[in-house]
Amino acid sequence: MTPADRLDGRDGDGGTPAPGTSPQEGGHPPPALAPAPPALEHDVLRSLLGAWALAACSPQETAAVEEHLGGCGPCAQEALRLRDAVGLLHPPESLDLDPGLRTRVLESALQRRPARVPVPEWAAPYDTETARLDALLQDFGDAEWHAPVRLRWFDAGTTAGLRTTVAGVIAHLLAVDGLVGIALGLGDPLAQVLGDAAPGVAPPAERTEAYWRAARRPPTRAVRGPWREQSHAVVRTVSFTGGSSDALPVSYGGVELPLRDALLDRAFECWVHAEDIADAVDYPYDPPAGRHLHHLIDLAARMLPRVLAARRRAGLAAPPATARHLVAAGGPGRSLRLEIEGSGGGEWLIPLDSPGAVGSAEHEVAHVALDGVEFCRLAAGHVPPEEAAAGQLGDREAIRDVLYATASLSRM
Amino acid sequence: MPTRDAPPRWDHRMQQRLARGEAAALGELYDRFASLVHGLAHRVLGDEDAADRVTRDVFVHVWEHPETYDPEQQPLRSWIAGLTHRIAVQRLRATETAALAVTGSGGTEELERRVRRASVAARADYIVHSMPAPLRAALERAYFQRRDYRRTAADLGVTEDEARRRLRLGLQLLATAHDTGTPGAPPGNGGAA
């Protein structure tokens, strides 16, 4: 009998015999020779061998087994074998896989055999960040899943917050990633929970709250599977639709982003919330790799002109200094130079007066320098604009407007 | 927490997607099996960097040669465990041989002993990882939490007879880690998943 045969029998039950232990071979001592009355039968003693090998019997049982082993060859043989096996039990190997290993392994493989269906470059940060978060969740027990997490964002000039749990954060990511899923025709994960009451395409906070409310109990670790399945399905689907789909509009219920930007946005949110979770359970968590971070910063920088305009309309940002700064679409406009330091950094010229204008070095009125991770924390609403550690030069009002606009990119 | 065995359909589909050159499939494969691969490699080699390299070699191999996996023969999980085992043992033998060459004196017997020990340890890990959850739970209680079998029975809500049966059967399965004659053979000869 090969080990495989024996293992294959595992789904049956106690019927799987180990070699040399079948009752026929086991050989009951003839009743006449048995000490009278036998304290424990051979069958019972044999059934105790596992517990005996693990030192999990009572002292009386242990003594009875050991006495029996002296006179029963097959049991003695099995006892030896099982005791050896105990020596093979080890605590599980180190659990923390280097999170950077995934990227290195995938890159080596793709160098050796280029993909015929690659993951689009703009989807790579989402692929990597969801994998990193999933690896963080890997060994969480119930205590971690229910650890309190405070979500923070910048709203109406101040930091807003909301308490949930680690599982609640994953439910939030599932609900909002679902907007990308809907746009790709993958179906709405909320529809499975909420049926017709699912909010469909709606702002992220609305979808999240609908989902949280609908569940009779707070979310549990069971939310991990659907979240991960959806993120895998998104990467799989955009790989097939490839470059042609990057402009596909994804509606956030009011705001619309092209698919490539929506996936950068989701990668950003995934990282930010992974950090929230890591903080809550006191684990270390690194920022994304430089080249992915660069994409995320670039998305924020590209969104700033629109946010500035919206804030100006709402009376929250200064109007253009003089009429001459009202520029024609596509023309150069008054600009702020955003210099991002560190891995993933770079320079961006942010047109200040109109989303239609083009950033221009000639019309630079201010210069802000920030570390990349600090900039992202500002954009996530985790650092108030007045506290962002930024080097500043030039028009103070422009700088203030841009820092506040960056913070108001954040949402729940 | 060990994941439950995937349905064979997943294995089949995965093999087709890898053969088709779908990078997203490689990512999913990594997400499912990296901790298994890395854990086994680490058990054999006892070194983080070496385990990282084996992990890379295993996934590169699967990506380059997806056709060498036959879903009819065995689950993908046990095939990957076997592949990991082979590659890790090869690496152990190579590094130990190199070390021997430096230190001189013929210690090939010692080398074979070490290779065998590492192999058995890795196979044992794999067996524990893939055995039915009720058996694993019983072993964990009795061994790691030092419960006697009566307490184990109470914890698991089963009869004392059943607790004894699970402990014995669990150890019988585990003992098969010693059984494969050739140290380079895959864990459980591929039947264990």
Taking Cα atoms as reference points, which of B61, B64, B62, B40 lies closest to residue B52? B40
- When the pLDDT of each residue in chain B is averaged and rounded to a whole number, the result is 86
Q: Which of residues 203-262 of A touch B (CB under 8 A)?
A: 228, 232, 235-236, 239
Percent share of chain B, pLDDT over 70: 88
Contact A232 B28 (CB under 8 A): yes
Chain A residue whose CA is closest to B147: A56
Residues in chain B within 8 Å Cβ distance of A10 = 131-132, 135, 169, 173
Four-CA torsion A28, A32, A34, A39, nearest 10 degrees: 100
- When the pLDDT of each residue in chain A is averaged and rounded to a whole number, the result is 86
Q: Which of A14, A58, A106 has its CB closest to that of B169?
A: A14
Q: Which of B24, B121, B165 has its CB closest to that of A88?
A: B121
Q: Which of B24, B42, B171 has its CB closest to that of A50?
A: B171
pLDDT at A240 exceeding the cut of 60: yes
Q: Are strands A358-371 and A391-394 parallel, antiparallel or unpaired?
A: antiparallel
Q: Report H helices in A256-339.
A: 259-281, 290-313
Contact B191 A4 (CB under 8 A): yes
Residue A311, token pair as written in the block? 């804030």
Residue A77, token pair as written in the block? 């043989």
Q: What are chain A's domains?
A: 18-84 (no CATH), 119-281 (1.20.120.450), 292-407 (3.30.1050)
A271 Cα to chain B: minimum distance (Å): 17
Residue B27, token pair as written in the block? 């990512």
Spatial separation of the C-alpha atoms in residues A380 and A160, rounded to whole Å: 11
Residue A411: alpha-carbon gap to chain centroid: 18
Q: Label residue A330 by pLDDT band (50, 70, 90).
A: confident
How far CA A405 is from CA of A107, A158, A306, in Å, comes to: 37, 12, 9
Contact B143 A57 (CB under 8 A): no
* Model pLDDT for residues A364-412, shown as the tens digit of each residue: 999 999 999 999 999 999 998 988 878 899 999 999 999 999 999 998 8
Contact B170 A50 (CB under 8 A): yes
B100 Cα to chain A: minimum distance (Å): 27
pLDDT at B193 exceeding the cut of 50: no
How high is the pLDDT of residue A314?
84
Q: Which of residues 116-135 of A touch B (CB under 8 A)?
A: 116-119, 127, 131, 134
* Model pLDDT for residues B77-118, shown as the tens digit of each residue: 999 999 999 999 999 988 888 877 777 655 778 888 888 888
Spatial separation of the C-alpha atoms in residues A388 and A272, rounded to whole Å: 17
Residue A394, token pair as written in the block? 């030039």
Kindly report the pTM of this predicted structure: 0.82
Spatial separation of the C-alpha atoms in residues A262 and A267, rounded to whole Å: 9
* Model pLDDT for residues A254-272, shown as the tens digit of each residue: 889 999 999 999 999 999 9
**Is there a contact between B98 and B127 (Cβ–Cβ < 8 Å)?**
no
Q: Which of B20, B120, B191 has its CB closest to that of A8?
A: B191
Neighbours of B161 (CB within 10 A): 13
Residues in chain A within 8 Å Cβ distance of B26 = 106, 109-110, 115
Taking Cα atoms as reference points, which of B86, B84, B93 lies closest to residue B113? B93
Q: Which of A56, A86, A117 has its CB closest to that of B148?
A: A56
Spatial separation of the C-alpha atoms in residues B68 and A51, rounded to whole Å: 42
Taking Cα atoms as reference points, which of A250, A101, A132 lies closest to residue A183? A250
Q: Are strands A358-371 and A332-341 parallel, antiparallel or unpaired?
A: parallel
Contact B43 A14 (CB under 8 A): no
How far CA B30 is from CA of A106, A118, B88, in Å, comes to: 8, 16, 17
For B2-44, the three-class secondary structure string (H helix, E strand, C coil) is CCCCCCHHHHHHHHHHHHCCEHHHHHHHHHHHHHHHHHHHHHH
How high is the pLDDT of residue A215?
74
Sign for the CA dihedral angle at B153, B159, B164, B167 comes to negative
Chain A residue whose CA is closest to B135: A10
Q: Which of residues 77-116 of A touch B (CB under 8 A)?
A: 81-82, 84-86, 88-95, 97-98, 101-102, 104-106, 108-110, 112-116
> Which residues does A305 contact at the CB level (< 8 Å), separation at least 6?
A350, A351, A352, A354, A355, A357
Cβ–Cβ contact A186 with B under 8 A: no
Q: What is the CATH number of domain B8-190?
A: 1.10.1740.10
DSSP class of residue A375 equals H
* Model pLDDT for residues A127-183, shown as the tens digit of each residue: 999 999 999 998 899 999 999 999 999 987 788 889 999 999 999 999 999 999 999
Spatial separation of the C-alpha atoms in residues A325 and A404, rounded to whole Å: 21
* Model pLDDT for residues B18-38, shown as the tens digit of each residue: 999 999 999 999 999 999 999
Spatial separation of the C-alpha atoms in residues A127 and A232, rounded to whole Å: 8
Spatial separation of the C-alpha atoms in residues A78 and A45, rounded to whole Å: 12
How high is the pLDDT of residue A294?
97
DSSP structure string for B85-125: HHHHHHHHHHHHHHHHHHH-S--HHHHHHHHHHHHHHHHHH
pLDDT at A29 exceeding the cut of 80: no
Contact B34 A105 (CB under 8 A): yes
- Compute the half-sphere exposure of residue B45: CA atoms within 13 Å on the CB side of its CA: 27
How high is the pLDDT of residue B56?
98
